[in-house]
Amino acid sequence: MFFHLTFKCWMHLLLFSLCFHNEPAACKPAWMTPQFPCDVTPSYNTSSVLFDCKGRNLDKVPHGITSNATELILSENYIKNISVDSFSKLQNLTRLDLGWANKDKQKDKLIIPADAFKNLTKLRSLRLSGNLLTEIPGNLPVGVEILELHNNKIMRLDNRSLAGLTNLTELWLSRNCYFWNPCKQSITVVDGSLAVMTKLKILDLSFNNLTEVPKGLPRSLNMLKLGSNQIQYISEEDFLGLTNVKSLHIQGNCPRCHNAPYPCVPCQNTSIGIHPNAFNSLTQLETLNMGGNSLTHLNPSWFERLRKLKQLFLSFNLLLNAITKEATFLRYLQKLEKMDISFNFASKCYPKTINLSEEFSNLVSLRTLHIEGLVFQDIGPQTLSPLYELKNLSALNLGTNFIIHSDSTIFEKFSHLKMIYLAENRLYPLPVRSLSSPLDGYNQELDLSISPLTTQHPQNPDYILKHGLIKQECFDSGRVIVLSSNNLFFITPKQFEHYGNISCLNLSGNGFSAALNGTEFSLLPNLTYLDLSFNKIDLAYDNAFKELKKLQVLDISHNSHYFTAFGVTHNLNFTQNLPVLRVLNMSHNLIDRLTTKHMHSKSLKELRFTHNYLGKIWKINDGSYKMLFTNLTNLTILDISSNSIANIPENVYDYLPRSLTKLLISKNRLTDFIWDKLQGFPQLETLDLSYNFLTNVTGSNSNVTHTLTLLDLRNNHIFELDNGFLKVAKSLQTLSLRNNKLTIINQSTFELWPESQIKTLLLQKNPFQCTCDSLYFILWIESTDVKIPSLTTAVTCDTPANRKGQALINFDIQECVNDSVAFLIYILTYSFVIAFMFVATVAHLFYWDASYVLHYMKAKIKGYRTLNSPDSAYDVFVTYDTSDPHVTEWVMRSLRVKLEEEGEKHLPLCLEERDWPPGVPLVDNLTQSIQYSRKTLFVLTENYVKTGVFRLAMYLAHQRLLDENVDVIVLLMLEPVLQHSHFLRLRRRLCGKSVVEWPRTAAAEPWFWQNLRSVVRVDNQLLYNKSYSKYFTNN
């Protein structure tokens, strides 16, 4: 016993010295410790220091921000108050971001005292958006140049609120009063109050329910945003003198409310009123946005002096007649480069065709023209004729017009066009031109009533269509034709006869269902990018795509129709017809069988094969498809995510391409992965095993690839990392273990990591156990340079209950060291003093009496014997929930060690998973274990007490009490269970010491183990209440 205590004392002293050596506060400033919640990024070139505290669940400005900080981001937290001293020592701060500083849904406004920013004399940028402020904070530093106040409740701008802001260059004050931030009134801007800001370049007052243009705007303005207000008239004086304005946004003041996705009130006169001379002063204007104003005409005088205009946005108006008839305003826009006249359709009208005004021919600088949503049936010879001679025109967007027929010969006249966008129309295959003829007899005034156009409305409140029309790789390849989402259900070569030298073709979403035979694209010999996704392609013939010798990218994803049909040929030999194919996308095809068992390509580098059924194809006992990807000899990227793979047969690993650099197997059902097989991929850099069912990660003793830099294991069920996990993956830089079941990471797991190049470790949302078992891991975190994102916000405790939700790094390691040592020394010294005083006093006063009592007690002690029956083969039989991995791990690694290996040596424990002979019935195993063990220890958890095994074991233990008059029951409560059980209450009254509970604090654990040893090694008769012990006799 003395040796045991001495060993523990030395261990505590060793841990104490280790913790003292690693104490961060002793040698590091607060911002360098792992406990500091912000990311600190110094810039050695500009001497700037950024403290990024965005989204860290902070309720106050953190302590430890150094005085040399130049940028501080505190947005998206739960800070309710800014104190006077919060920034008092940050004199070097140039940028402060307090946007949405309190994102609590039940929040009040952010409280900012008058002198909160008083000492920030170098502050240049201040962001205060989303804080429900009712006024601009006072005493702002005079040097502030950029002030952002979006999404507040500021209802008045006057000379007092803007006092001292003479150096402002940008004022962003939108969304303070509008439909999603209602105030039931308009913001008041006192006349002339903005004129004091003589350096102001950008002013944003959009979404504020303004009913008029503020008077006295600074003449220094370059950009003015007044969109989505309630301004119904713009007078001649509103923009007078603003000769420096280059960008003006007045969109959305009189919107078309027919199908608006927000509370919409139309203007009294339907459209916005603009004085003929309203824009006369704007001679430097380059961008003008008048979309969403229900305009029915365009006065040429508006544009007469806008000779430098480059971008004009006129979408969502009522301008169909204005752009198809005279349109004389276009004569003044010879420098215009981008124009958007989309969604200017006439209500309830579906004309046969429309013809753009001849005045469009004046737009000699035009590069991009968006003509979506004008709604007409045919592109006729005169529809686009004014555009034929525009040599700079490179992008023409005709999407969502419900066009039924287009004469492709027209596009021969656009020799300079790089992109022709005809998606979301109703185009039919060329041989079926007659399908449009029945429409000639339609009542054109009523046809639009059934059109899906009624669902169209700008998602962007700026009324500027954000045209992500095509993928960048497609656009970069050369000339682009987009025919997606039409009615081209079959294709003939003539379909593309007059489109010119096409490099990228998009035919997705057409319901195309023919079997490709190698002739369909014969007139497109230079095609390099082909998108056939969302169709019904039938890959029946070997010669499919054989005409496309220059094709580099092929997308046939979302073509599951024939792949799921029974008895249909699924031929993948087409890859041999494409000698320069680099990227092939076959995702979302639900492939579970193939006619072709091998794919062949010497050029393919990237294969996307997600959302299929490789799990069915790769059957363990069927090797037919094991070489499916083997002959893709230059493949570097293979994505087989979402393929319902529960197990990868061992021979499949051996036949995957050796050239892989990125292997993605996420969102499957993998429960195991053979890590040793990684040595077969000498170039592998990225391995993604996220969103599977892996439960543990075993180490590898083989030469695992030395090139692996990213390993993604997030969203699995990993509860254990093997010792020296991936110890030979020395090139690993990023390891993601977030969203797993890790409770403790042992020291041996990461002790070899200093040899690797790991830079980032993701551990968020694991149920960590904040006890002394995590001590070494916490010490490692404090000493390592590895970046652990969200360490103070998402790497949190799950147990014990009193620490749930707290940051693991904030666990006080002194609880594991100083308290225990101090308590042990206290007990030893106190016991020695008391014993010495007691012995001295008794020897002096009661020598003979004490001698008598001593001999009496000695006799009594010699009369008791512990129950070491020769028939007992085990000291204690431990019964527990073997289906719970956490309980099993605790029993095997903690309970067994404490009772078998530490302290006085006794007979071994009887453990089900270790000592039960296989093949023996459960009842026999239980009976023999209880009969041949001195004690039976029940490890109680909430799930275990509900099982039949628990009840059966308890019956058998009580049976021994009835048959032999021997009480062998000891209850160990890992969780608070059976609180209302009459049995447990009676047990506590009769033999309370035989019921032990797992302590709630780490400091009490040594005493728990000492008490448990005493209970299991002493006869229960000695533990009974004296009132009842007489009913038991020794056998």
Q: Residue 9 — pLDDT band, cuts 50, 70, 90?
A: very low
What was the pLDDT predicted at 857? 65
- Helix-strand-coil split of the chain, %, nearest 5: 25, 15, 60
Answer whether residue 285 shows pLDDT above 60.
yes
- % of the chain residues with pLDDT over 90: 53
Residue 138 vs residue 8, higher pLDDT? 138
Contact by Cβ (8 Å): 551, 528? yes
- Confidence (pTM): 0.73
pLDDT of amino acid 699: 62
**Nearest alpha carbon to residue 96 among 87, 84, 83:** 87
What is the reported pLDDT for 260? Answer: 75
The most confident of the ranges 319-323, 426-430, 463-467, 833-837 is 319-323
pLDDT score at 686: 96
Per DSSP, the three-state class of 1009 is helix
pLDDT tens digits, one per residue of 34-66: 889 999 998 777 788 999 999 999 999 999 999
Kindly indicate the confidence band of residue 4, based on its pLDDT and cuts at 50, 70 and 90.
very low
Over residues 640-649, the mean pLDDT reads 95
Tokens of 894: 């903690």
Both tokens of 325, joined, read 């008839």
- Amino acid identity for residue 492 in this structure: T
pLDDT at 714 over 90: yes
Residues 995-1020 have pLDDT tens digits of 888 887 777 778 888 888 777 777 76
Q: How far apart are CA 983 and CA 508, in angstroms?
A: 71
Asked if pLDDT for residue 1 goes beyond 80, the answer is no
The CA-atom distances, in angstroms, between 646 and each of 620, 665, 721, 738 are: 11, 11, 21, 21
216-230, 338-352, 975-989: range with lowest mean pLDDT: 975-989
Please give the pLDDT value at position 886: 86
- State the virtual CA torsion across 858, 860, 865, 866 in degrees, nearest 10: -90
CA of residue 697 relative to chain centroid, distance: 23
φ, ψ of residue 829 in degrees (nearest 5): -70, -40
DSSP per-residue codes, 894-935: IIHIIIIISSS--SPEEEHHHHSPTTS-HHHHHHHHHHTEEE
Q: Are residues 431 and 492 in contact, defined by beta-carbon separation less than 8 angstroms? A: yes
**Mean pLDDT taken over the chain:** 85
pLDDT of 623 > 60? The answer is: yes
Residue 820 burial (C-beta neighbours within 10 Å; 0-12, 13-18, 19+): buried
Minimum mean pLDDT range among 182-186, 277-281, 697-701 = 697-701
Model confidence at 204, pLDDT cuts 50, 70, 90, reads very high
CA distances from 263 to 228, 255, 272, 545 (A): 12, 11, 18, 51
The string of pLDDT tens digits covering residues 446-502 is 232 223 333 344 445 555 544 466 788 888 888 999 999 999 998 888 888 888 789
- The per-residue pLDDT for 614 is 95
Region of poorest pLDDT, from 215-219, 536-540, 848-852: 848-852
DSSP state letters, 12-37: HHHHHHHHHHT-HHHHS-GGGSTT--
| DSSP one-letter code for 110 | P
d(CA 490, CA 512): 5
405 token code pair = 């027929």
pLDDT at residue 613 in the model: 95
